[in-house]
A = this chain, B = another copy of it.
Amino acid sequence: MSGYKLTYFPVTALGEPIRWMMSYLDIKFEDYRFEREQWPSIKPTTPFGQVPVLEIDGKSVWQSVAISRYFGKKADLAGKDEWESLMIDVIVDTFTDFRLAVGKWFYESDEATKKKLEKPLLETTVPFYLEKFDSTIKENGGFLANGKLSWGDIYFVATSGYINHMLGFNMSDKYENIKALCEKVAAIPKIKEWIDKRPAGI
């Protein structure tokens, strides 16, 4: 099969940065969304039991950060040299640490354990990361790294709706630099076009 096919749950989350990068690059793709109840039958067909999976000309790749970086290079949004690329990679992996900390609490099925995680997460971890991201954006002229747009900004903003959903509040609310970055990236014409036409929902 030639072309691009993204397989993911019918949500934004980790599929969305890949959708945004392909939209930015004007790449046409099949946006295949399966329902939760299909997951047990789809899981064994994926390379490593996880989605999103992107088929590129019949070859399947996975890992949202790796795929976004790949498209970032094609879009000339991966830094002008190894140092700039490092700056992007560092902040994106730190954003993943943050997402995982939030997810550890959000997805905890045991109510007592979840309750125990809640206070340190919401009172310490979340403000710590958001303040750091906010000041990082301020120090980098409105972007996460290198004073210019990178695939890292697109990854961050594309995933922010999912983080907001887990947190139950908008992480832009109290952080003006995060807010400005989110607005700026969402206003990029090709990305805005995607946001306007994508299926509703988180």
Contact = CB atoms under 8 A, between A and B. Distances in A.
Interface of A: 48-50, 61-63, 65-67, 69-70, 73-74, 82-83, 85-87, 89-90, 92-94, 97, 100, 104, 110, 113, 128-129, 132
A90 B66 contact: yes
Given A61-B90, A82-B70, A50 B97 contact: yes
A85 to B, nearest CB: 7
A49 B126 CA distance: 13
A172 to B, nearest CB: 20
A90 B97 CA distance: 17
19 contacts: A48-B132, A49-B128, A49-B132, A50-B97, A61-B86, A62-B94, A63-B90, A63-B93, A65-B93, A66-B86, A66-B93, A69-B86, A70-B83, A70-B85, A70-B86, A70-B89, A73-B82, A110-B113, A113-B113
A129 B50 CA distance: 12
Contacts of A89: 63, 65-66, 69-70
